Amino acid sequence: MIKEFIKKYWWRYLIGILFLITVDIIQLFIPRQIGSIVDLLNTQSPNLNQIKTLIFGIIMLAVGLGIGRVFWRISIIGAARLFEYQTWKKLFNHIIGLDQDFFDKWRTGDLMTRFTSDVLVLMRMMGILVIMLVDTIVLTTLTLFAMGNFVNWRLTFISVLPLPLIAIISLFFGRFIHRRFRELQEKTSELSNITEENVSGVDVVKLYSNYDTMQGIFDNKSQEFYNSYIRLVKVWGLMFPLAMLVGQLAIIFVFNFGGPMVINNQITLGDFIMTNQYIGMLIWPMMAVGNLINLIQRGRASLRRVNEVLEQKNSVKEPPRKDFEFQGHYQINHLTFKYPGSQRVVLNDINMNINPGEMIAFVGRIGSGKSTLAKLLVKLYPVDREQIFLDGKDINDVNGEFIRDNVSYVPQDSFLFSMTIRENIAFSDEKMEDKVEEFAKLSHVHDDIMSFENKYDTIVGERGATLSGGQRQRVTIARALAKRSKMIILDDCLSAVDTETEEEIIKTLRQQAEDKTILVISHRLKAVKNADQIYVFDDGQIAEHGNHNQLISREGIYYSMYMKQLIEKNLEE
Ligand SMILES: Nc1ncnc2c1ncn2[C@@H]1O[C@H](COP(=O)(O)OP(=O)(O)OP(=O)(O)O)[C@@H](O)[C@H]1O
């Protein structure tokens, strides 16, 4: 990733580095000018014109410094920001293409930290690190050269003796800083996870009046985050004064050895002041040594974390997309399924035939595998060959995107975006915006929407919070209908509306789109009793199947479930 970027944008770095070196060279002349002014002032009759020229020279050098800094910033920091933007884009495009298995396993907060903190560290590595590296090498070499040439080599050698100690201190502490920084990164991830989950699940926290527990967990995590930050700050806090102390030691060396040289007229007072200024200029590159190593280590850790996401592969192997006339005939032969990475058999020896235009219902106990099978039909998880055939083709040979273009799957808890109801319904195709009312009517949510102040332009709050559960579910059905696919799967997505409305919606769907295959997963048997085929799931297997009358006459699981629901309904009335 980094290599590719540098290969493409090496010229930006080259321009930046040239400006950086120019700035470093200009910087060297300022102490010299100051030294010369001091020497002129130190004479019996100072030449004011010469002093003015020197001051003007300093101003010009400062202007040059400013211009140079602007250009190296634009080139190097600009390149680093471009790298940051491209990495975000790469990460996002990669994640969005990953399959369900990835999202089942990765926590949102952790992903967010990789997007934010880790990419930020990489950006620093591509910007500040380059600057520090060039400055450390170039500024140190040039300053030493200037000190020796402009002042005195012996004094230079003696005064810089303590400075490598700063680099050693910086390196020594750098190891701790790296370890503590990594710890801080992990704590940041954990804190993001907790915050994200609590904000997303705020309804649950409120309903269970569980503030204390959640606050306790949050307090713990933020305390851990704080502690690890303080541990990092402590190392920084110790390192800086120590490095400064050594820097002061170098100044004492200048006074101790340079002072007598001034008295003995070996160097001028201006030379002495110049040396002091050069020493000040050397402290920063020495301190940067540890920072440099530290930033490289942090950058490597962040690069590993970002690459970990980029290396995630889809568990479903997709063949190239070859579109064909989608009919929606599914044939399932002895299907057995375990979720990726799990040993538990969730579906066991399933056999089924779904014909185009039919209404199919999956019913059965919770956790019996109904949703899993629905997800397999839209290829959200991988299955072995020769188990699911779509229009005569092994599902493994059909591109998943093509399937999902032709099959609308409405999951149990569907997500709505924070945009208008109209935009949400026309999500799959903006051109459908004119027809959203039609789909809303089919989903029996039009009247509800018309009662809102802004009607179809009502902004849906995050996760559909401004709509009631039933309204939200019906808007998601309207959104699925706007896809105009040949098949629609309603996965228990009408649980928040009453049985009559659920029955009404299903009936309307069947009437309006006779050729559409409708697969309904529901716990309410009354709502799906008109289905052409009803499959009764039990512990990952199909216990019974047939139409309502056939299943009733069998007097099996379906019969007892139906009777139980009938009695419950009668009791309610
Ligand atoms: N992503 C997953 N990874 C591992 N196991 C899973 C995953 N999703 C579901 N399961 C397991 O698969 C089994 C079947 O779940 P599934 O959601 O298909 O049941 P269901 O019949 O649709 O239930 P419900 O009626 O409650 O929606 C359950 O035991 C569940 O724990």
CATH number at residue 231: 1.20.1560.10
Q: Within a domain: residue 213?
A: yes
Ligand 1: residue whose CA is nearest its atom 26: 366
Residue 466 sits in the same domain as residue 545: yes
Question: How many angstroms separate the alpha carbon of residue 453 from the centre of ligand 1?
Answer: 39
Q: Within a domain: residue 320?
A: no
Structure tokens at 116: 């934010």
Residue 30 sits in the same domain as residue 62: yes
Choose the final residue of a domain: 244, 278, 310.
310
How many domains are there within the chain? 2
Q: Which own/partner contact pairs does 556-563 have at CB distance under 8 Å and 24+ positions apart?
A: 557/364, 558/363, 558/525, 558/534, 561/363, 561/525, 561/536, 562/525, 562/529
Closest C-alpha among 361, 348, 374, 336 to residue 540: 348
Q: Give me the pLDDT at residue 571, please.
A: 67
Q: Give me the pLDDT at residue 459, please.
A: 87
Residue 265 sits in the same domain as residue 335: no
C-alpha pair distances (Å), 372 with each of 70, 304, 337, 381: 58, 33, 9, 9
| Pocket of ligand 1 contains residue 339 by CB under 6 Å | yes
Q: The domain containing residue 421 runs over which residues? A: 330-572
Choose the final residue of a domain: 260, 278, 310.
310
Question: How many angstroms separate the alpha carbon of residue 253 from the centre of ligand 1?
Answer: 74
Which residues of the chain are under the pLDDT cut of 50? none
Ligand 1: residue whose CA is nearest its atom 30: 367
Q: Could you tell me if 529 and 548 are in contact, meaning their C-beta atoms sit under 8 angstroms apart?
A: yes
Ligand 1: residue whose CA is nearest its atom 8: 372
Check residue 341 and report its DSSP letter. Answer: T
Q: Within a domain: residue 413?
A: yes
Question: How many angstroms separate the alpha carbon of residue 543 from the centre of ligand 1?
Answer: 17
Ligand 1: residue whose CA is nearest its atom 4: 339
Residue 461 sits in the same domain as residue 561: yes
Q: Within a domain: residue 315?
A: no
Residue 363 sits in the same domain as residue 225: no
Question: How many angstroms separate the alpha carbon of residue 401 from the centre of ligand 1?
Answer: 23
Contact residues for 3 (Cβ-Cβ < 8 A; gap 6+):
none
Distance (Å, whole) CA 58 – CA 31? 9
Residue 161 sits in the same domain as residue 291: yes
